[in-house]
């Protein structure tokens, strides 16, 4: 059995595969050790690196951890927009641009409050707040420069939520004081689509396509690359651009195929210094 090859192929569609294999959910309790043993036997080097990434200090698959992960990102975004609004460059923006940033900021703050309540509601302890690194922010010396970072943050946020949805599958509804009964997965999805709306608007403000075609001015940044880059044109082993692949007599362009599916980022990728990780700090 070529387990190495299987894992490799799995990783193409889901780079977080090893993280998923180690979830706490009961169905995998026995699987974990088995797969680890099997995997180690098959390709120790690759898997070691996989595990290192996938387990970056947390217990993957725990909904408390997932929501704290989301909370960290929302803290970062919320602080970034607060800094943006407080910045001397804010007044240089048009009224419409200011209104848009305020609306987005309002949502990020709402997400922080919601996620804190959710983490508490499911028996966890909200992760401490993080802030956007002041020195980095200080280097953004125009509204336009800040907006670039806003785009990167939003597009990364979209990818990050997408990468964790699977970890929330099957969770029961929870009742949270002051909020009511929510389904954890559904709430995460509802935040996720708001982040996508934000991303689209900021891209639009920057005269970029609202969706990611690969031709944007920032599309080569690490935020759009990763194990599965946004330029990916194969979904679940289906090649979207090969002639007659999904539609007789129709061939879709790589740009259209890439733009029609957003891609995931793993927690390790998101928290990497090249992406959100490098922006967190005092």
Partner 1 sequence: MSDNLQPRGSDDATFAQPLYTPIKRRSFFMYAGATAGASALVLAGCSKDSDPVKPNLPTGNSTTADGSISLGSGDVGVLNYAYALEQLEADFYSKVAALSNGASLLGATEFAYFQQVAKHEAIHRDFFKAALTRDAAGQVLRNLTPKYPAGTFDSKTTILATAKAFEDLGVAAYNGAGKLIKTPAYLVIAGQIVSVEARHAAYIRDLITPGSFAADDQVAAASGLDMAMTPKEVLNTAQNFITEKLSGDSIGVNA
Q: Find the binding residues for partner 1 in span 42-81 (CB under 8 A).
A: none
Nearest distance in Å: CB 268, partner 1: 15
| Under rule CB under 8 A, residue 122 binds partner 1 | no
Dig out the tokens for 188 from the structure: 């995460």
H or E element at residue 246: none
Nearest distance in Å: CB 230, partner 1: 10
| Under rule CB under 8 A, residue 192 binds partner 1 | yes
Residue 114: count of CB within 10 angstroms of its CB: 23
Q: CA 26, 31, 32, 33 torsion: positive or negative? A: positive
Read off the DSSP letter of residue 163: H
| Under rule CB under 8 A, residue 275 binds partner 1 | no
- Taking the least distance from each CB to partner 1, the nearer of 17 and 76 is 17
**What residues numbered 12-41 form the site for partner 1, per CB under 8 A?**
13-14, 16-17, 20-21, 23, 27-28, 31, 34-35, 38
Distances (CA, A) of 88 to 146, 203, 236, 265: 12, 22, 47, 33
What does the alpha-carbon distance between residue 20 and residue 37 come to, in Å, rounded to a whole number?
Answer: 16
Q: Which position among 49, 134, 145, 204 is part of the footprint of partner 1 (CB under 8 A)?
A: 204
Residues 90-109, mask of contacts with partner 1 (x by CB under 8 A): ------x--xx--xx-xxxx
What does the alpha-carbon distance between residue 116 and residue 118 come to, in Å, rounded to a whole number?
Answer: 5
Q: In DSSP terms, which residues pair with 234 in a beta bridge?
A: 239
| Contact yes or no for 122/64 (Cβ under 8 A) | yes
- Taking the least distance from each CB to partner 1, the nearer of 177 and 236 is 236
Q: Which position among 43, 131, 210, 277 is part of the footprint of partner 1 (CB under 8 A)?
A: 210
What does the alpha-carbon distance between residue 118 and residue 66 come to, in Å, rounded to a whole number?
Answer: 11
Total number of residues that touch partner 1 (CB under 8 A) = 81
- Taking the least distance from each CB to partner 1, the nearer of 48 and 138 is 48
Residues 149-188, mask of contacts with partner 1 (x by CB under 8 A): ---------x--xx--xx--xx--------x---x-xxx-
């Amino acid at each position: 059995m070529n387990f190495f090859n299987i894992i490799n192929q799995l990783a193409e569609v889901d780079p977080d595969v090893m993280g998923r294999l180690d979830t706490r959910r009961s169905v995998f309790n026995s699987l974990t050790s088995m797969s680890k043993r099997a995997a180690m036997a098959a390709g120790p080097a690759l898997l070691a690196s996989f595990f290192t990434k996938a387990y970056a200090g947390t217990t993957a698959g725990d909904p408390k951890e997932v929501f704290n992960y989301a909370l960290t990102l929302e803290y970062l975004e919320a602080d970034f927009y607060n800094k943006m609004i407080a910045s001397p460059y804010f007044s240089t923006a048009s009224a419409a641009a200011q209104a848009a940033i305020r609306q987005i900021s309002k949502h990020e703050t709402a997400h922080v409050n919601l996620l804190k309540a959710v983490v508490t509601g499911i028996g966890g302890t909200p992760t401490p707040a993080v802030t956007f690194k002041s020195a980095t922010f200080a280097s953004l010396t125009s509204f336009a420069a800040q907006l670039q970072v806003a785009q990167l943050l939003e597009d990364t946020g979209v990818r990050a939520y997408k990468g964790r949805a699977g970890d929330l599958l099957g969770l029961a509804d929870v009742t949270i004081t002051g909020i009511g009964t929510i389904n954890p997965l559904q709430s995460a999805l509802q935040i996720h689509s708001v982040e996508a709306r934000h991303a689209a608007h900021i891209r639009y403000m920057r005269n970029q396509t609202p969706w990611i075609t690969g031709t944007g001015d920032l599309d080569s940044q690490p935020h759009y690359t990763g194990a599965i880059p946004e330029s990916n044109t194969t979904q679940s082993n289906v090649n979207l651009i090969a002639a007659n692949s999904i539609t007789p007599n129709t061939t879709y362009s790589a740009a259209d195929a890439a733009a029609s599916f957003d891609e995931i980022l793993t927690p390790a990728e998101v928290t990497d210094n090249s992406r959100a990780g490098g922006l967190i700090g005092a």
